[in-house]
């Protein structure tokens, strides 16, 4: 009788589930991250080969969501380390007193802007990710939509319905766009700019890479995203042009920090140490042009050249302390979609 065999087969399965045990002898670190999913495996492998006694357990989501999750878990933290979260978010956590300061070995080799400026830093940067516009040349031609050269171009009527950008509430990329516009144009002008831009936006996405992926697949002509994602899609053969607007580029650091109260402090510190080693920086440089140790930097294929020069003089402190107010204002203005189309 067939069904009996099936039932018998199920029993061991149930047994294994019930006996989900811990890995013997290894320290398991719960690491919250907003690194791109396609980078995680490599990062994990590199770190674990350097520290075979530590296992990484990733919890990955968009920047905004990881931030919100960490804040929500403030009284009952689940993460040990945050590796790869926007510096602005980490500053916010620092203000909330959630980070464990630690001076990792070799911190002096990093760019100064990549290190929290306290005596014992609460976070250290890994790489910088930089805002960019992904422009689909095929769709541009088909729809008669010219390539924009500046942020301001995007408010022109010709772009109506052809632009997608990430929602800053959930996406770190979305937030660095908004924060950079405010820093570059001034508060009032920036909101006026966004009011105009909003008219042309067809959709706000949850994730920062989705606009570029949608541009890559022609679902939209223009996706406001970040350079790495554009380069990656271009490598795959997407008809993309990665545009770095003339006014300047918002950027943020993906940084590492230890969550206060972790009972695996030693392992967490090992991870923080390793995250700024030369080896780690070389690894980041495969994807990002600007990393913590300038001497390892090499040109990243398909990456826009000299992107570093267009990066604005980002005031992280300001961005972090105004983050919540900016997001609330943004949500009030645009998240309503009082005009859905």
The radius of gyration of the chain from alpha carbons, rounded to an integer in Å, stands at: 22
The least CB distance from residue 235 to another protein, in Å, is 11
Task: Give first-to-last CA distance, the chain, whole Å.
Answer: 59
Query: Of 119-127, 213-221, 274-282, 285-293, which segment contacts another protein by CB under 8 A?
Result: 213-221
Nearer to another protein, 19 or 49 (CB): 19
Nearer to another protein, 154 or 212 (CB): 212
Nearer to another protein, 51 or 210 (CB): 210
Tell me the DSSP string of 12-36.
Answer: HHHHHHHT-PPPTTPEEEEEEE-S-
Candidate residues 82, 87, 93, 214; the one interacting with another protein per rule CB under 8 A: 214
310 makes contact with another protein (CB under 8 A): no
Candidate residues 19, 20, 49, 144; the one interacting with another protein per rule CB under 8 A: 20
Query: Of 36-44, 124-132, 174-182, 296-304, which segment contacts another protein by CB under 8 A?
Result: 36-44
- CA atoms of 237 and 136, how far apart (whole Å): 11
- CA atoms of 168 and 124, how far apart (whole Å): 23
204 makes contact with another protein (CB under 8 A): yes
Is 228 within any annotated ligand binding site?
A: yes
**Residues 122-141, mask of contacts with another protein (x by CB under 8 A):** ----------------x---
Candidate residues 180, 209, 262, 275; the one interacting with another protein per rule CB under 8 A: 209
- CA atoms of 16 and 184, how far apart (whole Å): 57
**Residues 219-258, mask of contacts with another protein (x by CB under 8 A):** xx---------------xxxx-------------------
- CA atoms of 245 and 310, how far apart (whole Å): 8
- CA atoms of 285 and 127, how far apart (whole Å): 8
- CA atoms of 126 and 84, how far apart (whole Å): 7
Using alpha carbons only, give the angle 128, 129, 134 rounded to the nearest 5 degrees. Answer: 155
Tell me the DSSP string of 290-337.
Answer: -BSSGGG--PPTTSPTTHHHHB----HHHHHHHHHHHHHHHIIIIIT-
Q: To which residue do tokens 């271009």 refer?
A: 234
52 makes contact with another protein (CB under 8 A): no
Which residues would be at the binding site for another protein (CB under 8 A)? 1-3, 6-7, 10, 13-14, 17, 20, 37-38, 41, 57-60, 64-65, 68-69, 71-72, 76, 138, 169-170, 202-207, 209-214, 216-220, 236-239, 335-338, 340-341
């Amino acid at each position: 009788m067939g069904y009996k065999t099936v039932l018998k087969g199920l029993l061991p399965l149930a047994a294994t589930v019930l006996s989900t045990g811990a890995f013997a002898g290894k320290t398991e670190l719960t690491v919250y991250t907003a690194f791109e999913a396609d980078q995680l495996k490599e990062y994990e492998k590199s770190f674990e080969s350097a520290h075979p006694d530590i296992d990484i357990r990733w919890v990955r989501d968009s920047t905004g969501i990881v931030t919100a999750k960490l804040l929500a878990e403030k009284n009952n933290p689940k993460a040990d380390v945050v590796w790869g979260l926007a510096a602005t978010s980490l500053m916010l956590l620092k203000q909330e007193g959630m980070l464990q300061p630690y001076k990792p070995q070799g911190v002096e080799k990093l760019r100064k802007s990549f290190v929290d400026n306290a005596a014992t830093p609460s976070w250290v940067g890994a790489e910088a990710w930089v805002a960019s516009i992904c422009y689909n040349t095929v769709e541009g031609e088909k729809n008669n939509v010219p390539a924009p050269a500046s942020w301001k171009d995007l408010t022109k009527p010709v772009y109506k319905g052809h632009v997608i950008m990430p929602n800053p509430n959930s996406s770190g990329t979305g937030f660095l766009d908004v924060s950079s516009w405010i820093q570059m144009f001034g508060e009032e002008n920036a909101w006026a700019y966004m009011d105009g831009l909003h008219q042309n936006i067809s959709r706000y996405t949850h994730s920062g890479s989705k606009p570029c992926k949608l541009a890559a697949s022609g679902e939209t002509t223009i996706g406001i995203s970040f350079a790495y994602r554009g380069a990656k899609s271009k490598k795959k053969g997407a008809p993309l042009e990665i545009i770095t607007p003339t006014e300047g580029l918002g950027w943020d650091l993906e940084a590492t920090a230890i969550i206060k109260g972790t009972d695996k402090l030693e392992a967490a510190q090992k991870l923080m140490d390793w995250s700024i080693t030369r080896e780690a920086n070389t690894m980041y440089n495969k994807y990002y042009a600007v990393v913590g140790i300038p001497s390892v930097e090499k040109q990243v294929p398909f990456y826009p050249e000299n992107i570093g020069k267009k990066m604005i003089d980002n005031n992280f402190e300001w961005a972090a302390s105004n983050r919540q107010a900016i997001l609330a204002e943004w949500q009030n203005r645009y998240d309503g979609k009082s005009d859905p189309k």
